[in-house]
């Protein structure tokens, strides 16, 4: 009797082990399928020169500019310099005075500068704006919506967008005054 009971117990243990292993294998298989489907359907669009710039809307935080929100599509017909930056970024800080010095002249010529702040808090952005007397629109991307939309890696990153909404040039890294002005000239609306 004990031998038969031992054989039955051993058989039950094998069956339970097989069920347990089968469940684990099924869960792993489901996890792999989920990961594959998620990766295949993820938006991996990286924008290049020649692509249309995706539209976005953010709240504007610069008190020296009258806009409350910034929506890219509102600038159709104007050239747009779309800059992504942060107050902690030294190259970003180095190019800001160049952007401000050219802004009044190029705004008159139909080119808008939009500098999207990637900072965590508005307080540090306000201090930075005041330090450099910045007057162009500075939307605050608090939830990284636009950063993710444009697939921004290193900052500063700048997109130069034509009056028709097409990306003309993408520059990663700080711009010199001369390079900045040459790109602004490229996106300036033609006089009709």
pLDDT single digits (tens) 52-74: 999 999 999 888 788 788 999 99
- In this prediction the pTM is 0.76
pLDDT tens, residue by residue, 82-128: 999 999 999 999 999 999 999 999 999 999 999 999 998 889 999 99
Q: What is the pLDDT of residue 39?
A: 67
Q: Name the residue among 56, 91, 57 with its Cα closest to residue 172.
A: 91
CA torsion sign, 131 to 70 to 78 to 86? positive
Q: What is the pLDDT of residue 33?
A: 84
CA distances from 157 to 23, 32, 85, 180 (A): 48, 35, 7, 12
**Average pLDDT value for residue range 145-151:** 91
Residues 6+ apart with CB under 8 A from 119: 86, 87, 88, 125, 140
Q: Name the residue with tokens 């130069």.
A: 160
E-state strands within 25-184: 57-59, 69-71, 79-85, 111-117, 157-161, 167-172
Q: Name the residue with tokens 């190259």.
A: 91
Q: How far apart are CA 186 and CA 28, in angstroms?
A: 53
Q: Name the residue among 99, 82, 96, 109 with its Cα closest to residue 169.
A: 82
What is the SS3 assignment for 28?
helix
pLDDT tens, residue by residue, 34-50: 877 776 665 556 888 88
What is the SS3 assignment for 166?
strand
Consecutive H or E run containing 145: helix 145-149
- Percent of the chain scored above 90 by pLDDT? 61
């Amino acid at each position: 009797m004990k031998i038969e009971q031992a054989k039955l117990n051993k058989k039950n243990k094998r069956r339970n082990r097989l069920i347990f292993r089968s469940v684990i294998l099924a869960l792993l298989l489901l996890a792999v399928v989920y990961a594959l489907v998620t990766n295949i359907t993820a938006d991996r669009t990286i924008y290049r020169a020649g692509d249309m710039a995706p539209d976005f809307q953010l709240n504007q935080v610069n008190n020296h500019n009258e806009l409350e929100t910034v929506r890219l599509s509102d600038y159709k017909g104007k050239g747009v310099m779309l800059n992504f930056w942060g107050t902690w970024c030294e190259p970003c800080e180095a190019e800001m005075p160049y952007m401000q010095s050219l802004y009044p002249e190029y705004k008159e010529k139909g080119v808008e500068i939009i500098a999207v702040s990637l900072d965590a808090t508005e307080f540090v952005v306000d201090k930075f704006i005041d330090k450099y007397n910045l007057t162009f629109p500075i939307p605050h991307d608090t939830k990284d919506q636009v950063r993710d939309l444009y697939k921004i890696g290193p900052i500063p990153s700048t997109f130069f967008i034509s009056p028709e909404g097409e990306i003309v040039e993408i520059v990663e890294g700080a711009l010199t005054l001369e390079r900045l002005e040459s790109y602004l000239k490229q996106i300036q609306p033609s006089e009709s």
